[in-house]
Amino acid sequence: MTARYSIFSLVKNALSYHENWQQAWHSPEPKKQYDAVIVGGGGHGLVTAYYLAKEHGLRNIAVIERGWLGGGNTGRNTTIVRSNYMWDQSAALYEHSLKLWENMTRELNFNVMFSQRSVLNLAHTLNEVRITKRRINSNRLNGIDSEWLEPEDVKREVPIIDLRGGGRYPVMGGSIQRRAGTARHDAVAWGYARACSEMGVDIIQQCAVEGFDIEGGQVTGVRTSKGHIKTNKVGLVVAGHCGVLANMAGFKLPVNSRPLQALVSEPVKPIVHNVVMAGAVHAYISQSDKGELVIGAGTDAYNGYSQWGSNPVTEDTLAAICELYPLFKRMRMLRQWGGVVDTCPDASPIIGLSPVKGMYLNCGWGTGGFKATPGSGHIFADTVANNRPHPIAAPFALDRFRTGFLIDEHAAAGVAH
């Protein structure tokens, strides 16, 4: 039985110098057979296992992770949460997720530090103004909060911004979603891991997938660095390497894998109170609770699996940041990293069945993965348990690349990749 976190448990453990906290989750060796194996111990994989156990009654589940829990893209992103996407299908998916974010800390009894500080998308050209206003109208039709801001409104929200944008990026207005914000990424992984472990899910780290057993078109097992595991249900929930796993299973996915870069600065006093995104120049910025500026940059223009990315991407981003916020010209950057993202041609994910029976796909999220974490896992668990797409997941099936019913979120989502 996992102990409940509370002010009383905090005081009790403080008296013993915090040396007696219960282990948050167990890390057993894999069993010979499971009812379902989830490949990928990031947020999406853990949430999938959580809802498979909680809502569908499956308890003999393994989550296998090549590295350490949450050490992939869950821990390598800029933690933005929002739902103001353009198209109906995306709006349904991300709004479903945002509603789960709003109750996550209470549900998990784990503080994920979800902060609804709002997300502001800037418009720098007349075309961006038109697109942004169209997206606001679309958001409102889908019941998503979204407002248009004139330049003076933007200045009130972000006093340090230079509305001239250095002459290159003039601010002509923007949209704001006030329910959007940020969360603590590793706390999300830890919270779901703790909840999964309490329900009997095996979380197996340092366990790389080496291949799949497939008989008559049906998956029957997973070959791993820790031995062979029998199962007839496998969920592929990895970021950055879904194409590699698909190749192991004998099919191809329409994804590009590229490093997406981010940076953090030295800590300063609170000065940025929203998340501010500039889609046209691909530079977005927020401030962590420690005071660091968290800056999101773009992806490399070519495929790669490095976790640092190329210098011109960060140089272009920082140049734009300095023109929009001249105050930051003397800030020093402390860290820079890249997370490998799998991106589909229409900038929307793949959720659903695969060409192999018993194998399911949840991948291709591009830059939308973190914000969709709870909703993605919730509808994917339903898909895995019932062997058919959840109604929200159905438009995101792999088959859309054959039928042509794409969900083109390039540019419409505020940031294009």
- The pLDDT of residue 62 is 97
- The pLDDT of residue 413 is 47
Q: Which tokens belong to 406?
A: 């794409």
Q: Is the pTM of this model over 0.85?
A: yes
Beta-carbon contacts of residue 377 (< 8 Å; ≥ 6 apart): 43, 44, 45, 46, 47, 48, 49, 50, 51, 192, 237, 362
φ, ψ dihedrals at 39, nearest 5°:
-95, 115
- The pLDDT of residue 305 is 87
- The pLDDT of residue 415 is 52
Instruction: Kindly provide the b/e burial profile for residues 247-277, where b requires at least 16 CB atoms within 10 angstroms of the residue's own CB.
Output: eebeeebebbbbbbbbbbbeeeeeebebbbb
Q: Which tokens belong to 87?
A: 């198209």
- The pLDDT of residue 1 is 66
Total H helices, total E strands in the chain:
11, 19
- The pLDDT of residue 166 is 87
Which among 301, 415, 360 is positioned nearest to 44, based on CA atoms?
360
10-residue mean pLDDT profile of the chain (417 residues): values are 85 92 91 97 96 95 93 86 95 97 96 96 95 95 97 97 93 97 95 96 96 97 97 95 95 93 94 92 90 91 85 91 94 90 93 98 92 97 97 97 91 49
- The pLDDT of residue 417 is 45
- The pLDDT of residue 310 is 86
Strands of the sheet with 202-204, listed across from one edge: 202-204, 61-64, 36-39, 234-236, 359-363, 350-353
- The pLDDT of residue 411 is 57
Beta strands in 180-268 (DSSP E): 181-182, 202-204, 209-215, 218-224, 227-230, 234-236, 256-267
Type and span of the H or E element at 248: helix 242-249
Beta-carbon contacts of residue 15 (< 8 Å; ≥ 6 apart): none
- The pLDDT of residue 283 is 85
